[in-house]
Structure 1
Amino acid sequence: MSEPDIREVARKRIKARRDFWYMILVFVIILALCSAVWALTGMGYFWPMWLIFGFGIATLFSALSTFGPGSRPISQQRIDDEVRKLGGGPGA
């Protein structure tokens, strides 16, 4: 990869991490507000659990896309191997 390509990949990865942590902050704030509303309205059925469940699933998928195996850049070797598999390069 060339220097500009490496810098672009690095920029995207930094932005993805920043966006992930921003999402976590928003989740915590919304959870705190909803839990406060729940507590102030009589503390019956704990309805914020549905918010926790839904946001938890979204957070899991966001974490996987940010930090998981799919977040790594694709190497030139991997691309070359795939081209050879498809019959488009030397050694096919």
Structure 2
Amino acid sequence: MNDRRPWPDIDPDPIRARAIRQLHLRRGLQVHVLIYVLANAIQVVVWFAYTPQQFFWPLWSILGWGIGLLFHIWGVHSGAGIDEARIEREIDRMHGGGTRN
């Protein structure tokens, strides 16, 4: 059986759907960390090869991008996921604050 759905978030089992969403978030974080490490390592190698006597300019990328990466880590692991109450509030907001039929 092919388990590939056109919309993976639409699943009759809400726990399974939440687990799939969390796995997607973690995979995205893994890719982000890998690219962060590789890109900054390349910058450090370039700095060392061409301008080691000058200011360590890769620091700006490491710190700036690192702040964004920390927010990404926090967002994935904070536990402030999407719960049923938030979903209901969003549905109500989308319907103009009225009751649904």
**Does the TM-score normalized on the shorter chain lie above 0.5?**
yes
Deviation of 1:4 after TM superposition, in Å, equals 2.5
Q: Per residue, is there more helix in 1 or in 2?
A: 1
Q: Partner of 1:69: helix, strand, or coil?
A: coil
Deviation of 1:5 after TM superposition, in Å, equals 2.1
1:25-36 superposed matches below 5 A: 25-36=34-45
Q: Paired residue for 2:47?
A: 38
Pick the aligned partner of 1:15 from 10, 24, 29: 24
Deviation of 1:54 after TM superposition, in Å, equals 1.1
Q: How far apart, in 1, do the equivalents of 2:33 and 2:55 lie?
A: 25
Q: Paired residue for 2:3?
A: none
Q: How far apart, in 2, do the equivalents of 1:73 and 1:55 lie?
A: 26
Deviation of 1:55 after TM superposition, in Å, equals 1.1
Higher relative contact order (CA 8 A, sep 6+): 1
Query: How does the TM-score come out when normalised to structure 1?
Result: 0.72
Q: Paired residue for 2:77?
A: 67
- The RMSD of aligned alpha carbons is 2.4
Number of equivalenced pairs: 80
Q: How far apart, in 2, do the equivalents of 1:34 and 1:22 lie?
A: 18
Query: How does the TM-score come out when normalised to structure 2?
Result: 0.67
Q: How far apart, in 2, do the equivalents of 1:19 and 1:7 lie?
A: 18
Q: Paired residue for 1:4?
A: 13
Letter in 2 for 1:51: S
Q: Partner of 2:56: helix, strand, or coil?
A: coil
Structure 1 runs not aligned, ≥5 long: 80-87
Q: Is 1:54 matched with 2:59?
A: no
